[in-house]
Chain A
Amino acid sequence: MGKRSRLAALAAVAIIAAACQSGATPKPTPDLPKEIGAGEGALNLVIWAGYAERGEVYPEFDWVTGFEKDTGCKVATTNMTDSNNGVSLIQSGAYDGISASGDATTRLIAGGYAAPVNTALFKNYANVFAGMKDLKHNTVDGVNYGVPHGRGPNLLAYNSDVITTPPTSWDSVWEDGSMYQGKISIYDSSIYIADAALHLMTKQPDLKITNPYQLNQAQFDAAIALLEKQKANGANYWGSYSDQVSQYASGDVVTGTTWQFQVNLLQAEGAPIAAVLPDEGSTGWSDTWMIAKDAKNPNCMYMWMDHMMSAEANGQATVFFGEAPTSQQACDYAETISPGHCALTNATNEAYYDKIWYWSTPQADCADADAATTCKDQDAWVAAWTALRGG
């Protein structure tokens, strides 16, 4: 009932907007908003922790307070623990938007939970790197379902007091190394199965894994077996990034998979933690701000999406999280607070990102690999992860 009336209101807004713009060319998707109306006064977001800072951690990182002042949209955020959690939160209908990674975007689009966006309404969209536009995880048939936030790889972190030579491969995480037994830090999400598959791509070529997100039964079983071995070697799992920060700070772990964000936090506190992208590459993410289909505050969400592409906000956010900005303007701004940021994150280095397997949703239909076989789907991945962690 509520949903329908909101949709009706949206449609009405669109029709009135269209009527006002006399002589406008007809668009293929008539329900796209034609302009950003007045802010509704509130904005409820599902975010990756650290994507909406208001200066509580470090006063200099604050791209929310100004937005609230300018637009009157009061921002409330909920952290997702992983993409699965983000999808579930959006499904509750309580949120206006989400900073979704690629494995969430496709599901939200297919499930009808995300609305198409009219990128023409964003004054900052023109500046976005061409390579970050119209990506296949957020664009379907030329219709955009969001705007980019930033991208980055999952890194290998290590305690530089314990591991004095910077590692160049993921072996310390996967292979039997009694040195780090019980001190490995692992991301607690089903999507991490892809990291095992990635490792197998180089270690066991005979498995013929071509895409770590499209695994047939044999490949999948091998990945799970590898994860079981890792668990037996004493993996510590982190669900929230603060778990991991305290693990490293307390010395409970010395190496493992991480985001640049945690490394930044730990280094700021003087902890001897460093991170590298190993030679064999890594999994990673390219995040998209999406608007929920039944958003209660669509105008505020549009304003937020535009804001997050601005030089100032995107520069701050990507520096804070340690990921690549989405425009040259953002890069320039980022350099003023963190010199060398864009080079460090390879913001314009597409070759670097070719080594990165962006998170995407495992599907039964593994079109890229082999038409004859079916792959393990999302449910199978989650069930396997539950079995691994719960068993």
Chain B
Amino acid sequence: MTPEASRPPTRGEASSAVAAVRLEGLVKRFGDAGTGAGAGTGAGDTSGSASADTVLAVAGIDLDIADGEFFSMLGPSGSGKTTTLRMIAGFELPTAGRILLHGEDVTDRPPFERDVNTVFQDYALFPHMSVADNVAYGLVVRKVPGPERQARVADALRMVRLEGYDRRRPGQLSGGQRQRVALARALVNRPRVLLLDEPLGALDLKLREEMQIELKAIQQAVGITFVYVTHDQQEALTMSDRLAVFNRGRIEQVGTPADVYERPATRFVAGFVGTSNLLSGETARAIVGGSGTFTVRPEKIRLAEPDSQPAPDEASAMGTIREVVYLGPDTRYIVALDAGGELVVTQQNIATSSMEALSAKGRTVRLTWKRQHNLPVGEE
């Protein structure tokens, strides 16, 4: 875990009492033929038959995002996070509910009247314009005078380290470069809120990790509120001040990365953020000694000899190693518990060789972990 992710999310809340983004009872239903029209894109793409069944993409969301915050919306595809973002941007009109930006109701306002800018998943660069023209677009349509415009475009390109690329066409750039142009194009307008829709989704792993750090650095440098949509829990945990976990059009949990990871509010959050090691029912009663469902993060569990004794503050369970997956720095063991169910255990390969690790398959082991690490999870 990066240090940023564990920092308390007080920055934004301290600087402003009014939320940068406030969502009240937001609902979006697609394929709603009642009004006779509805935009034909987005989560529930309606390119099929016109009067298809309606899809409830966002099922009532209340949320405050503080000024200056790096806020992530995390969830699987179809969970409503992108639709929510598009409603904040103004691309979709909510079926019900209100959207407030810095205290101002913008629910019915078109995108071009909102003080937000968006970085699109596919970058949405204008193919028929040069990089400089792309970046300058927002300034041109707002009639910012020429000299100022040029200076700001140059500034923005410098910030994303693309000086000297201004004459190129988007088609001549790599994926990472396009992503930076999209970022510069949004930032050059100095919006108070920047919306990012899975901006790194199309990049390869290494580039993505670099960009994550860079994005975070830029956000801290400009001090703009970032609302960041991703389905990658690692990314959300790495970058966010706070994050919201979406599932089926609702928010399951809002909190700091540490909160969400270590104290998942629901089974879904426990499963989606990190590996779901769930103990429930009889198994839970036998091992943890309480009723309900508990989760234990794989890296908190220790593999021990079957005859070793657990410490008093430790829970323990007997099991058989069913599968061993060698991951380089770590090894992942899947252990079938004698009490029923399975737990995943990851161990750093500090003193173990791959040969040793792989030969562990089929062995009987004792699993132990500190009792404070088995966390109760709310049922849905």
A and B touch in the complex (CB under 8 A): no
Which residue numbers of B lie inside 8 Å of A, CB to CB?
none
